[in-house]
Amino acid sequence: MIWASWRQQRLQLITLLGMLVIGAGAIVLLWSNMVDDITSSQLTACVTQSLQECSAPDGAEKAFREAWGDRFDMGRFVITGLPALIGVFIGAPLFAKELEQGTHVLAFTQSASRTRWMFSKLVVALLPALIVLITLQYLVSGWLAAAGTLGPLMNGPFNALNFGIAHVSPVGYTLFAFVLGTFLGVLTRRTLAAMTATLGAFIVVRLALSGLVDRLVPPQRLEVASGATLEVDTNSNLVIENGYLDTAGRPVPEDKVSTLTQACKSTPGGTPNTQEGFLACLPQSGLAKRYAVFIPESQAWQVHLVDVAIFGGLAVLLLVGTTWALRRQS
């Protein structure tokens, strides 16, 4: 059964092998060239330093970002888009092609059960795809990590592109996209319709659930006096909510905050207020404290686990639906 599945899917498997070889070779070459560029531009120390601490020659840092920015984005887009491509070009045609051409009738008459036939095809198609994804993800992550703060990682782990290619999230997206494709393939019984529907449904679900994951991880809360600095790095941490609190501890609407802060910039006589007067005016006007609700960088792994649990759970439900639909095929 596995041999027959491999023979039917050999084109997809050969394509995956080509993607792995070409993709891995390209990333390793880019990685090597980038390291040489960092060394020749005297930016080695800046990889682990902040922008303020970097003491590179004038213009070297800017030139490096301009030269490599698009390449970094391309690498991230590849890992971001690969789950969708696997779902569209491997998952969707897996059963849709058989049902469309009627070859499933021959498979159903063999000694192997429909369930065994289905899982044999799923394993042969999914495992190589996951190997390709994980390998390329590992290489791209290592490449970006080698650039340090000179690359996209300076934007923090919660940046949309950075988050989508890190930890186990791409595996969860791939499982979901692949099983979504198989499910829609069985429902539509048409390869092209299944491929189109898979791409659209995957994009819609990804966008719809992008904000849900953040709400399922317990955030931290920081409160300071209204005149104090709220030290929450918006690049490294995921800020869910921030603003001012009144004397009762309730959030103050943004339009009211704007009005009150604008009023505190002037004295009762109409002259510009001093910095000390402005800070003293804020609590008197009802802006008692500043606050921020955020998920710190150290908890990014928890967000990834929730992310993969959601998409993995959806994949399991779709797999059950695929099994049910296939068993009803004649």
Adjacent-strand bridge partners of 293 = 221, 241
Q: How far apart are CA 296 and CA 248, in angstroms?
A: 26
Phi, psi at residue 212, to the nearest 5°? -70, -40
pTM for this model (two decimals): 0.87
- Distance from the first to the final alpha carbon of the chain: 20
Residue with tokens 């849709």: 96
The order of strands in the sheet holding 220-225 is: 220-225, 289-295, 238-245
Lowest mean pLDDT segment, chosen from 76-85, 89-98, 190-199, 255-264? 255-264
Percent pLDDT > 70 in the chain is 91
Q: How far apart are CA 178 and CA 139, in angstroms?
A: 22
Q: How far apart are CA 30 and CA 32, in angstroms?
A: 5
Lowest mean pLDDT segment, chosen from 50-54, 62-66, 244-248? 50-54
Is the pLDDT at 79 greater than 50? The verdict is yes
The two beta strands, 220-225 and 289-295, are antiparallel
Q: How far apart are CA 118 and CA 115, in angstroms?
A: 5
Element spanning 245, H or E:
strand 238-245
Both structure tokens of 311 = 């998409």
- DSSP conformation class of 266: B
Supply the Cα-derived Rg of the chain in whole angstroms: 26
Contacts with 12 (C-beta within 8 Å, 6 or more apart), sequence order: 89, 90, 125
Adjacent-strand bridge partners of 243 = 291
CA distances from 79 to 129, 165, 195 (A): 12, 6, 19
Adjacent-strand bridge partners of 292 = 222, 242
Is the pLDDT at 51 greater than 70? The verdict is no
How does residue 105 score in pLDDT terms, banded at 50, 70 and 90?
very low
Sequential DSSP letters for 75-134: HHHHHHHHHHHHIIIIIHHHHHHHHHHTTHHHHHTSSS-HHHHHHHHHHHHHHHHHHHHH
Phi, psi at residue 47, to the nearest 5°? -60, -35
Q: How far apart are CA 140 and CA 76, in angstroms?
A: 7
Sequential DSSP letters for 48-82: GS-TTT--PPTTHHHHHHHHHHHHHHHHHHHHHHH
Q: What is the pLDDT of residues 160-193, one digit of tens each?
A: 899 999 999 999 999 999 999 999 999 998 999 9
Both structure tokens of 204 = 């819609």
* Mean pLDDT across the chain: 86
